[in-house]
Amino acid sequence: MQEEAGGRAPSWLTHSLSAEASAVLSPEALLLPDHVLDFIDRHAFTHGVYGWWFDHGLPLVPRNGCIERDGKHLLYIGIAPRKGRSIKLGAPSPLKCRFQKYHLRRVRGSTLRHSLSALLQDELHLEFRRDKRDRVCMDRRHEEKLSAWVDQHAAISITQDDEPWKLEEELVRQGPPLPLNIDMSDHPFKSTLKDMRRALGRN
């Protein structure tokens, strides 16, 4: 995929997709992880789609065709809430909760964080266990090591969308390569990543 100056998504791609898609693929600026919760609050985002961008700290991940900006590549698209997920009256914003409770804090419940753990297991000397439901878990010390890595190597783009699952499918199926996405993805790295994830906490 050819990129325009400044690392933005090519105009033919952003013009062919919705404004919400453009906000994820070609944002005005990328957010640092420790700024994303404040950004969600200031913009009163509740439901949305977000992109995770990473520098070259993930050498195993292929980046051919991935959108690049500010030295980082867009490698993953996520949403909150999931389709069909009921939202209780007065409950916190699903989008804020997704970051605060999972992506920025713990492996259990975060597909992205699970994948990062598999890719960084040896580099960060991470240790894992499986809970009674066979979900991957780490203790606080190892979660904090992963969070410190994310703070140093990642950035985020985000947009409000009342039906984020529709945009997610559009981006994963029709957008740029997203090597860290698994659901709906046909990226060739998917099988390798799934094998690495499956091995965590088995020994």
- Comparing C-alpha atoms, which of 198, 185, 196, 192 is closest to residue 66? 185
Predicted local confidence at residue 7, as pLDDT = 47
Predicted local confidence at residue 14, as pLDDT = 45
Cα end-to-end distance, the chain, whole Å = 40
Q: How far apart are CA 65 and CA 79, in angstroms?
A: 22
Whether 52 and 76 have beta carbons less than 8 Å apart is answered as yes
Predicted local confidence at residue 117, as pLDDT = 97
Predicted local confidence at residue 16, as pLDDT = 55
Structural domain tally of the chain? Answer: 1
Report the run of H or E that residue 61 belongs to, with start and end.
Answer: none
Tell me the per-residue pLDDT of 79-91, one tens digit each, with 9 for 90 and over.
999 987 766 666 6
Residues of the chain with pLDDT under 70: 1-17, 86-91, 203
Predicted local confidence at residue 13, as pLDDT = 53
Predicted local confidence at residue 12, as pLDDT = 41
Q: How far apart are CA 3 and CA 24, in angstroms?
A: 15
Domain containing 39 equals 5-199
Tell me the per-residue pLDDT of 114-126, one tens digit each, with 9 for 90 and over.
999 999 999 999 9
Three-state DSSP class for 18?
coil
Predicted local confidence at residue 88, as pLDDT = 66
